Amino acid sequence: TPLYSSAASDVYKRQIHYYMKVGIIGSGGREHAICHKLSSIKKVKQLYCFPGNAGTAKIAQNISINLDNFDELKNFIKLNKIDLMIIGPEKPLVDGIVDFLEEQNIKVFGPNKVASQLEGSKIFTKNLCKKYNIPTANFGIFQNIDDAEQFLKETKYPIVIKADGLASGKGVYICDKPEEAKIAINEIFEGKFGIANNALIEEFLKGEEMSYFIISDGKTVKKFGTAQDHKRVSEGDLGKNTGGMGAYSPSRLINEELDKKILSKIIEPTIQGLKEIGTNYKGFLYAGLMIVEGEPYLIEYNVRMGDPECQTILPKLKSDLLEIFLSCCNEKLNETEIVWHNKKSLCIVICSNGYPDQFNKNVLIENLSKIKLGTNEYCYHAGTELIDEKIYAIGGRVLNFVCLSENFSLSRTQIIDSIKSLNWNGGFYRKDIAYKVINE
Ligand code: AMP
Ligand code: GLY
C-alpha cells in the first residue's frame, strides 16, 4: 500500500495553497466592506490595506505607501508574498496598475488600462456607445470654446456639459440656460478639471437613475446587484453633489425585463466592443444608468464598485468573495455561483460637518466601541484614522452604517438608532435615504 492515499495527497496539495494573503488598495467604506467580507473567509490568512482606515486597521495591516509609486508597491507585495491584489478606486486602475502588476506576475483583480478608459475617458465611452448602438444621451464633442459656444447658442435647454477625464464626480454641469453653459465651457477649457482638449455636450435625460453592477473575468459576465445612491448633500435630494450620502439595494426600478435590456443593450455590447479592440474586461463594472420610461440609457461607466453602493450590496452576498475574485483572475467565473440574501439593504453615510465644502480634520470620534450592532448591522469606516487607539475623522465621508432586513423602513430605523447612540457632534447625515421606497 502507498504511504499516502491519493485523496490524502490531494488534501496536502490543496493545503499548500490553502491560506492566502490578500492586499486591497483604497481607504474608503468600499474597501473596508471588501476587507470585512474577506476577513470572514477562513482561507484568508492575512489582509493588507493600502492605505486603509481605522476600520481596516482592526482586521488588516494598514500600509501607508505612495500609491503613485507602483515600484514601491510591487516591492512590498513581493517581499510579503501577497497572493492576490484587489484594486478599489478608479485612479490606480486608470493609471494602469493592473497591467503593471500582471507584468510582475502578481495576481490582481481589476480592469486593465485600456478597459479602464470606460471611466477615465467619457469620450472613449461615448464613441463606443456610438459604434455599438448602446443607448445613451445624444452628444457632441467640442475641441474649443468657440465651436462649443456656437452650438450652445442654438441648442435646447437644459443641457449637460462634461469635462472628459477623471474629475471625482465633479466636472459635470447641468445647465438650464445659455449663461450657465458659457461658464461651464470656460471653466472646463481653462483647466478646472485638468488639461482639457475636449468638452462633451450632451442631451439632458429625464428619468430616474440606477446603479447597475456586474463582475467579469473577461469571458463570463455575472450580475452583482443594483442600488440607488443619494448623491446630493441635503434631504429631498437637494444641494451640492457629494461622493454619496447613502444608498439602498435593490433599486426600486429593477425587474426582469429591464435587467435583460440592460445586459443585452448595454453590458454585452460593451464587453464585445472591448474584445474587438483586443482587450478583456476583468473586474467590477458599474453602469450608471438613467431609466427613461422603462428604457435604460448609459450615463457613465465606472470601472469599480460604487461607494456607498459596495457597502450596501456586499453584506447581501452569501457566496465566498475570495472564490469569486480568484475565479475572475483564473477565467473561471462560469464555474462560480454568486448567491445573494433576499433582503433589503440600506446604508447611511455620516459626513464631517461642512462637507462637501470645508470641514475640520482630526476630530475625535468617541463611543464607536460602545455601539452594539446586531447580526445584520455593519459599520464601515471611510475617512477615519486610528491614532493611539483612538479614532479620528480625517475625511469628508466618515462612517457608513448599513442594515439588512425584511424591509427598507426597518433597516433605516435600526441604522438611525445606532447613529443616535453614537452621539457624535462632529458630523451629520441624511435621515431620508430611500425615501422613494419608504412610505411613512
Ligand atoms: P456623472 O458624473 O456622469 O455620473 O454625472 C453626474 C450626475 O449628473 C449624474 O449622476 C446624473 O444625475 C447627472 N447627469 C449626467 N449626465 C446626464 C444626462 N445626460 N442627463 C441627465 N442627467 C445627467
Ligand atoms: N456612488 C457613486 C460612485 O461611487 O461613483
The rounded distance, in Å, linking the Cα atoms of 284 and 273 is: 17
Which one, of 246, 221, 245, lies nearest residue 233 by Cα?
Answer: 245
Atom of ligand 2 nearest to the CA of 307: 4
Residue pLDDT, tens place only, 360-413: 999 999 999 889 999 999 999 999 999 999 999 999 999 999 999 999 999 999
Strands (E), 205-255: 208-217, 221-229, 232-234, 238-241, 246-249
**28 Cβ below 6 A of ligand 2:** no
The residue written with cell numbers 469635462 in the block is 163
Written as nine digits, the cell of 248 is 439602498
What integer pLDDT is reported at residue 3 of this predicted model? 47
Q: Which atom of ligand 2 is nearest to the CA of 302?
A: 5
pLDDT at residue number 194? 82
229 close to ligand 2 (CB < 6 Angstrom): yes
> Of 135, 121, 202, 196, nearest to 165 (Cα)?
121
Q: How far is the CA of 309 from the centre of ligand 1 (A)?
A: 17
The closest-lying atom of ligand 2 relative to the alpha carbon of residue 306 is: 4
Q: Name the grid cell of 219.
A: 469571458
Per-residue pLDDT at 439: 79
> With a 6 A CB cut-off, is 320 part of the ligand 2 pocket?
no
Give the number of the ligand closest to the Cα of residue 242: 2
Residues of the chain below pLDDT 70: 1-17, 167-170, 440
Give the pairing type, strands 390-393 and 384-387. Answer: antiparallel
Residue 83 Cβ contacting ligand 2 at under 6 Å: no
Separation of first and last alpha carbons in the chain: 72
Beta bridge partners of 380: 400
Q: Indicate if ligand 1 lies below 6 Å from the C-beta of 135.
A: no
Output phi, psi for 239, to 5 deg. Answer: 85, -165
Q: How many Cβ atoms sit within 10 Å of the Cβ of residue 87?
A: 27
The verdict on the CB of residue 400 being under 6 Å from ligand 2 is no
277 by DSSP, 3-state: which?
coil
Cis before 315 (ω within 30): no
How many angstroms does the Cα of residue 5 sit away from the middle of ligand 2? 52
pLDDT digits (tens, 9 = 90+) for 294-305: 999 999 999 999
Position in ligand 2 atom list of the atom nearest CA 308: 1
Q: Where do we find the cell 464631517?
A: 352
Query: Nearest to residue 214, comparing CAs of 297, 102, 302?
Result: 302
Separation of CA 228 and ligand 2 centre (Å): 10
Pocket lining: 29 vs ligand 2, CB cutoff 6 Å: no
Containing H/E element for 390?
Answer: strand 390-393
Cα atoms found within 13 Å of the Cα of residue 152, Cβ hemisphere only: 28
Q: Is the CB of 309 under 6 A from ligand 2?
A: yes
Give phi and psi for 101, each to the nearest 5.
-70, -40
211 C-alpha to ligand 2 centroid (Å): 9
301 alpha carbon, closest ligand:
1
Whether ligand 2 lies within 6 angstroms of the CB of 302 is answered as yes
Q: How far is the CA of 397 from the centre of ligand 2 (A)?
A: 12
The answer, yes or no, to whether any atom of ligand 1 lies below 6 A from the CB of 169, is yes
Is 375 within 8 Å of 403 (Cβ atoms)?
no
* Chain segment 18-35, per-residue pLDDT in tens: 799 999 999 999 999 999
Cβ within 8 Å of residue 66, ≥6 positions away: 72
Q: What's the sign of the alpha-carbon dihedral 169, 172, 214, 212? A: positive
